[in-house]
Amino acid sequence: MAGKFELYFDDDKRYRFRLTGDDGATLMTSESYDDKPTAVSGINGIRDCASTALIKDLTDGEDTE
C-alpha cells in the first residue's frame, strides 16, 4: 500500500494531517497543531511507530498481538 500523508489547514487555520490510502480514502486524521514543524513531527512519529505497534483489543478485555 502506498498511502500518503496530506498536511493541510483546518477551518480554524491550524495545521492537521491525514493519512490516505492508495485509493484516496482517509485512513486517519490528526489532532490540530499550532505550527508546521510540530505537525511534521507528528507525521514522523506515526511513521516510526505504526509498523511495530501492537494491537490492543479493548472490546473483549483481551490483548491481541
Give the domains, in start order, of the chain with CATH numbers.
4-50 (3.30.160.160)
Model confidence at 60: pLDDT above 90: no
Q: How far is CA 65 from CA 27, 42, 60, in A?
A: 21, 24, 14
Q: What percent of the chain has pLDDT over 70?
A: 91
pLDDT band at 64 (very low <50, low <70, confident <90, very high): low
Q: How far apart are CA 60 and CA 7, in angstroms?
A: 35
| pLDDT digits 0-9 by tens, 2-49 | 799 999 999 999 999 999 999 999 999 999 999 999 999 999 999 999
pLDDT tens profile 6-19: 999 999 999 999 99
Q: Which three cell numbers stand for residue 64?
A: 491481541
